[in-house]
Amino acid sequence: MMVLENVTKIYRIGTFGGKRLKAVDDVSFEIDEGEIVSLIGESGSGKTTIGKMILRLIRPTSGRILFNGKDIGQFKKNELKDYYRKVQGVFQDPFSSYNPLYKVDRIFDIAREEFFPDIGRNEWKNRIEEKLRSVGLNPLEVLGKFPHQLSGGQLQRLLIARALVMNVRFLVADEIISMLDASTRIDVLNLLAELKDSGLSILFITHDLSLGYYISDKTVILYRGSIMEYGDTEKIFNSPAHPYTISLMESIPRIDERWRMRSAVIQGKEKSIRNGRMCKFYHRCFKGDESCVEPPLIEVEKDHFVRCSKIGT
């Protein structure tokens, strides 16, 4: 359904744009119909940039993004409008998606005006109420309210309901539960899983490995814009192969033990870099030495790819 082919995004930064920042570096992966793929990495790893490129809020510097076999970068006005009817995003801060001067109903009104002008008001109202109930909301309790009168969880559910009203086929979910309390998080995750079973494809962007493991079919581990590990979620979490993935796993606090001093696997110690071909994780890697180079993704087992020259050593 959604395929990224060698996608790179370079930003011009500094005075007069004299410097370049490669936020996403030659990234390729795909998301099939009815599949949830988690995109996991530290802040600044390029996760949100990938989501924005899929939503065509920004354009890749190079590479292609294909939706049902068509390059979204080539879409013109009508094709782009149809694309947005099928592909939508929900972001980290639900309050930022609403105009505080208007009631929350406005997000549905805009969707109808833009994409479904031929649908009658009564039919549209019935569709909204049906989708609100499907995401666990009572229409009488949320419609007609201003954003500040509802919780973050309710506002996120409203945004998901809007996507369902539009019958979207692909959802970019960018850190959508990081601002929610624990009890609401599990409800939203379960909702996404139910939507997946109905055929919706989801790119689930998160920095929390436990959330990615809970919800996803496949996992992409991203570091400084490059994929370090990619494949079946069970295989990556049960048999992590890249030193970065192993380090992330070691860094997760455990619910079955109290605080204790844990030695960080990620070194955080700068090492001299011989040339630009060195692995990006080299300066923090517990396995790294001067023989490390930037390798391609290697399939270490079926549906499990790793970018590391130390695999097998």
| Residues 186-219 pLDDT 10s | 888 888 888 898 889 999 999 888 889 999 999 9
Domain boundary residue, one of 203, 223, 238: 238
Domain boundary residue, one of 218, 238, 258: 238
Regarding whether 116 and 65 lie in a shared domain, the answer is yes
Regarding whether 234 and 246 lie in a shared domain, the answer is no
Q: Which range marks the domain in which residue 279 is found?
A: 239-313
Q: How far apart are alpha carbons 8 and 66 in whole angstroms?
A: 14
Q: How far apart are alpha carbons 268 and 158 in whole angstroms?
A: 41
Domain boundary residue, one of 220, 238, 256: 238
Q: How far apart are alpha carbons 79 and 155 in whole angstroms?
A: 29
Q: What is the CATH number of the domain that holds 227?
A: 3.40.50.300
Quick one: pLDDT at residue 124? 93
Regarding whether 155 and 290 lie in a shared domain, the answer is no
Share of the chain above pLDDT 70, in %: 92
Q: How far apart are alpha carbons 229 and 227 in whole angstroms?
A: 6
Regarding whether 186 and 75 lie in a shared domain, the answer is yes
Whose structure tokens read 């970018």?
307
pTM of structure: 0.88
Q: How far apart are alpha carbons 201 and 154 in whole angstroms?
A: 22
Of 91, 89, 39, 29, nearest to 207 by C-alpha is 39
298 or 309, which is more confident: 298
At 178, the pLDDT band (50, 70, 90 cuts) reads confident
Residues 6+ apart with CB under 8 A from 265: 243, 246, 247, 250, 251, 286
Number of domains in the chain: 2
Regarding whether 223 and 178 lie in a shared domain, the answer is yes
Regarding whether 256 and 118 lie in a shared domain, the answer is no
Regarding whether 220 and 82 lie in a shared domain, the answer is yes
Quick one: pLDDT at residue 234? 95
